[in-house]
Amino acid sequence: MIWPMPVLLSSALHDQLLAEAASAHPFECCGLLLGDAEAITHVRPCANVADDPSDTFEIDPAALIAAERAMRSGGPRIIGYYHSHPNGRAEPSPRDAASAAPDGRLWLIIAGTAITAWRAAAGGSVHAAFDAVEIAPPAP
């Protein structure tokens, strides 16, 4: 999936992501983004099962498998992932790039009060793995 235009994120979901990241601090929060090519319609928080969740994330495989199964059965579509950088910047790290599949899925990164969006893409402009995507609020 490619985002040639801004992805829509409601203020309620924006606030939910900021609250989740703050609550998880000093660890990284993580989860799934559900929606379509135009909008993130839901976020699904997942357990961070990384060995060191203070500087990396790994979405609980059981949660990911369950969401993939639900999607194949007509449930909400997984369009990407999100995680926080509690002591970093709201941009992909080299570690993020190393773990990203070039599948066009969306990645949201939360740091402090900032949320940025990125598309996982081979040869991307950031670490050769990501391209920036604009986040826009839905029209009133």
**Separation of alpha carbons 119 and 138, rounded Å:** 19
Note the pLDDT of residue 74: 94
Is the confidence at residue 1, as pLDDT, over 60?
A: no
Note the pLDDT of residue 13: 97
Of the residues 20, 28, 58, 134, only one is catalytic, namely 28
pLDDT in tens, 69-112: 999 999 999 999 999 999 889 999 999 999 999 999 999 999 99
Is the confidence at residue 42, as pLDDT, over 70?
A: yes
Say whether 134 is catalytic: no
Note the pLDDT of residue 2: 52
Say which amino acid occupies 14: H
Output the furthest CA–CA distance in the chain (Å, rounded). Answer: 42
**Separation of alpha carbons 105 and 81, rounded Å:** 8
Give SS3 for 61: helix
Domains in the chain and their CATH numbers?
7-93+115-136 (3.40.140.10)
Which uninterrupted H or E stretch holds 11?
helix 11-24
